[in-house]
Structure 1
Amino acid sequence: MPNNNLLKFSLYIALSLLALVSIESIAHGVDDSTRAFLEQNHGVQFIPFLYIGAKHMITGYDHLLFLVGVIFFLYRSKDVLLYVTMFTIGHSTTLLFGVLSDIQVNAYLIDAIIGLSVVYKGFDNLGGFKRSFNWQPDTKLAVLIFGLFHGFGLATKLQEFHLPEDGLLTNLVAFNIGVELGQFAALAFILIVINAWRHSPSFQRFSTFTNTALMSAGVMLIGYQLAGYFVS
């Protein structure tokens, strides 16, 4: 594909993918069955919260888009483990702290920052910082910091349901474990696809397209969330 058509094609793919997602999903909402359970929940419900956490991560494409960017150029297993651990520490901290301390943050603004994290990682993978600013951010620190915002994004969804204090800590731990299990399952699939493509001569074109598409999707997420913030 000619280089001058790459950006247009990437934008088209990003638009097509987002068009397939419901408005509720873009707003990082929950489905009706999960909503009904959370609204009626009382006491410790370890397995249901474990399932909800895993489901939320697997369907939470904004989190997954960021993780795709994070691991895209990581070739060693220990590097993947390190960066995923930094992300996990970040989002686990603010998820638990945000809910238990009832830290109220605007969900639209948090989700806009999550969109920014996707833009950042795609831009970084394309070498944008080095070419444009002759400077490279600390990638590990960036993953940790954005992980903190991703955790607040998770927290805002749970806070909508005003979960009862009875069993709250246990349920949150179960939810967080579920998030990690969902993250592991999604990353395993993503790594298989990326590693298979690395052996193809087209990997350079694939990497450019993928990270350009990440930036395009991130910009759209930012725009949607900011529009929701100003309208609401």
Structure 2
Amino acid sequence: MQRPSSEGRRTLQYAALRLLLPLALALVLVLPGVDAALAHAVAAGDKGYIQEITGVNLLPFTYLGAKHMVTGYDHILFLFGVIFFLYRLKHIGIYVSLFALGHSTTMLLGVYFNVGINSYIIDAIIGLSVVYKALDNMGAFQRWLGVQPNTKLATLIFGLFHGFGLSTKIIEYNISPDGLVPNLLAFNIGVEIGQLVALSIILIAMGFWRRTPSFLRHAYTANTVMMTAGFVLVGYQLTGLIVSPT
């Protein structure tokens, strides 16, 4: 892939940041007035439903897992970054499998052993995973450090953090221990279904975009936008951590 010149990259990056940074600043400034529950992304209706039911409920938990993944913009952003420059289904399958292995492991073990991490902190780390992947796609680490990080290992490691984000939210649901293991497995299956749905939509959209000349022209800008979105997520969560009463 032929990358823009240094001057061209700086111009594109400056234009994107000039557009997006005021939005990021505005979001951070209004966060102190946002309900803490919103920062944890826990739907009140879903939380209430899970707190009321007991026993094995496979279909409801499968639905909730799929819903969480499809509506989880942080997970989708990272997934978008992972497959951005992957063209072969074999390679896409490897990276998505590594991500799934990571988040499935920590999600299941985290809930089973009741290991939760502060929601704001883990979600800030997830935001950083989006920043990392955008910088990786932009070739920043090669320019800055002279080395290319192991992208497969990084995908697995960040998958582990994404899984802790899932487990932390499930623990907040106060899920009943009655039927815990089957329900967790059903939730994880739902997450994988939701991931496949989100991935399919992304791949279809990327397939059309890659066929146009604008893909190579705007790939750097797109990753700059993704990087900025990741920083917004980090700022959102850290602000929530500071203003949260607990």
Normalising to structure 1: TM-score of the pair? 0.92
Aligned equivalents of 2:97, 2:75: Cα separation in 1? 14
TM-aligned CA deviation for residue 224 of structure 1: 1.4
Residues 71 and 80 in structure 1, CA contact (< 8 A), matched pair in contact too:
yes
Aligned equivalents of 1:145, 1:193: Cα separation in 2? 27
RMSD across aligned C-alpha pairs, in angstroms? Answer: 2.2
1:208 aligns with 2:220: yes
Aligned to 2:186: 174
Aligned equivalents of 2:43, 2:177: Cα separation in 1? 23
1:6 aligns with 2:16: yes
Aligned equivalents of 2:38, 2:232: Cα separation in 1? 10
- Aligned pairs for 1:72-221 (under 5 A) are 72-221=84-233
Greater Rg over alpha carbons, structure: 2
TM-aligned CA deviation for residue 7 of structure 1: 2.8
Please list every run of 5 or more consecutive structure 1 residues that lacks an aligned counterpart in the other structure. Answer: none
Aligned equivalents of 2:27, 2:198: Cα separation in 1? 18
Aligned equivalents of 1:66, 1:193: Cα separation in 2? 16
Query: Residues 63, 38 of structure 1: CA spacing in aligned structure 2 closer, same or farther, 3 A cutoff?
Result: same
Aligned equivalents of 2:69, 2:37: Cα separation in 1? 12
Please list every run of 5 or more consecutive structure 2 residues that lacks an aligned counterpart in the other structure. Answer: 1-7
Report runs of 4+ in structure 1 exceeding 3 Å deviation: 9-19, 22-26
The percentage of aligned residue pairs carrying the same residue is 53
Residues 106 and 167 in structure 2, CA contact (< 8 A), matched pair in contact too:
yes
Query: Residues 104, 28 of structure 1: CA spacing in aligned structure 2 closer, same or farther, 3 A cutoff?
Result: closer
TM-aligned CA deviation for residue 36 of structure 1: 1.7
Aligned equivalents of 2:27, 2:197: Cα separation in 1? 21
Normalising to structure 2: TM-score of the pair? 0.87
Aligned equivalents of 2:44, 2:38: Cα separation in 1? 15
